[in-house]
Structure 1
Amino acid sequence: MPSHENPAPTETRPGGVPVRIGALAPLTPPGWTEAGRQLLAGLELAIRDVNTGGGIDGRPLELLVRDTAADPRRAAAAMDELAGLGVPAVVGEYHSVVARTAAARADALGLPFLCSSAVLDPLTERPTDRVARIAPAQSHGWRIYADHLLDAGHRRIAVTADPGVYWESGTQVLREHLAPRGATLTALDARTHTPEALCDALADQGATALLLLVGHPEPAVPIVRAVRRDRRLTGLTLGAPAGQPELPAWQTLLGADGTGIPFLRYLPPRLTPLGTRVAATLRSQLPGTPSFVAFEGYDSILVLADALRAHGTDRARLAASWGRTTVDGTRGRIGFSRPPGSGVWQWTRPPVQVADRDPADPGRFRVLRQA
């Protein structure tokens, strides 16, 4: 990637032995590689900015990247390798099931892990001080999404879901939040319903919204096309709480058919001055508007760099520092707490938006709800 075009005001070239940290990201299929590239772009830009500002007490910060390809076994092996290489900590990962495996392995190895983008609530089976997370827990964001559906008047909601813990957990969060408020949620298995059969079921049930809890581009793209072309479903709202419509490939594959589909993303009403500068640089390196995933990557490095400066490279001291670490990031001030029921350190108030692509301009995003 090209050098950062807007370096910090004071530049110092760090020298000496690098401080090497590990990074996990899905960079090859079947992982969602577009998200992985966004995450890596944010991580690498932050590394360059940290080093432009003098590194870690004069030593350069260096990233050792490992591709998980959405495979938990590869994530566990990467954690073992990185621990053996002596890294003080690991950051990253996008896929929740992979991040959960990485977190468990990190805990077993005594290796601090800062999870950048995965949201599955039970990131670890037992409480641990070694794991912290930048992204909000799934239950937090998806309840906000459910409130958006309710406020829009939806009471008969369908989901089509792939198998997997992440999708099952999301369906359960939605059902538990919607049912007490008078809404029904019907699940339609994406494996047993072709796009056409799915349209038939939606027409029979009279659903007013269909949520796509499925992979991208398959089967999400064929489902969207089928629904958009079925006259019986005119007026049906499509939704994608997992955020598929934000990344540029969605617009490339679907065009106007991909607009007006609400999704979750983790951005504030306005980026901080740092975030505005970072966004400008990322825009020159990535196709389309930088995703929140890239900002999560950048902020993760800021948090870890601050902890390394304050506590050194000792793993035990780093793991004990999450609750005392506060950083001004691209999307606000980042600090960590232990919410009730959480087994990991969690950014206390990450921003949450419900947004969609504007039908009048598919390259533009509309913010429908801010929390």
Structure 2
Amino acid sequence: MSLGDSKVAGTKAERTGPVFREDQVLERIDAFRRRRPRLRDEVVTLAHGAGGKASAALVSSVFVEAFHNPELEVLGDGAVLPLPSGESLAFSTDSFVVKPLRFPGGSIGHLAVHGTVNDLSMMGAQPSWISAAFVIEEGFPVDELRRIAADMAEAAEAAGVRVVTGDTKVVSTGAADGLFITTAGVGLIPAGRRLSAELVRPGDQVLLSGTIGDHGMAVMLARGDLAIEADIRSDTAAVNGLVETLLAAAPSTRWLRDPTRGGVGTVCNELAQDTQLGVVLDERRLPVLPEVQAACDLLGIDPIYVANEGKFVAVVAPEETEAALAALREHPLGRAAAVIGEITEQPAGTVALRTGLGGSRIVDMLVGDPLPRIC
């Protein structure tokens, strides 16, 4: 079957599931408020790597407990380390295990650079250097490895960063699913620049830099397991230039996060939990490509939870919203940028979605991810 055209459209109200009136939402808040996932599993499952509640429980119960320190416990996209000069150093690391290694719009090589560059950018840093470590399965074609390295070089040049160190390991056949890549990155945060959930206030506006779900659905369809034909390309891109455009237009921007695993729904839940404020989204404002929406509908997946690799969610001061949106839309990567919601005092610690039918529903954090191995 063939899906959609290439225009941007809002999400469909029919897929929202249970719909509640505004007054009914508040009655259900207590069951969701301040819920922190706890690790009850005895073995690691795929859900623990999907960016939802299971991931949060694993990180909190195992890694934060083992390594606890003030820099780690922020649980941001990386660590912010102050320097004597007044600037701060941003340091981030990420691993990439996507399958297939190539998909419409990119490859694991592009992701490995873009993912770390974007994590640094979400902290307000200007990325400069990255490292790359490769775990290569015995029998992997050298020509394909060269092409992936060329993809990384291309992505790094476009982002204005350099790959300055790395490591290579080879494992036996069947031990690495072809190729795994881990990158770490370093960038500088200019003096006086600060992005934090602590700065978020009621009345602030929630902006999204473009359409959602493109990457996750592109990878899902590229696996070839589904009889679905659609021209869906990954949005993988380095957003450091777009972030600088935003911060120049809206210097009081409060908070940034790229909605990778778990999508917009998950990062908004993290924001609500960190601030104990409400995040109220408007379904009609969520930009979704028709073909992405159609594929999600066929698979029974809500695009608000589908991963992106070239977008970010921003919380900006209300008086800077118009300037921020105009600046984003002038940039090639931000043409579909939209205001998708606002920060409210209630429902505290919870994400609510105003639906196309005029009601509201709670957007909870998923346990796992409906699309495993997408980054």
TM-score of the aligned structures, taking structure 2 as reference length: 0.25
Q: Which has the higher helix share?
A: 1
**What is the TM-score of this pair, normalised by structure 1?**
0.25
Name the structure, 1 or 2, with higher relative contact order (CA <8 Å, separation 6+). Answer: 2
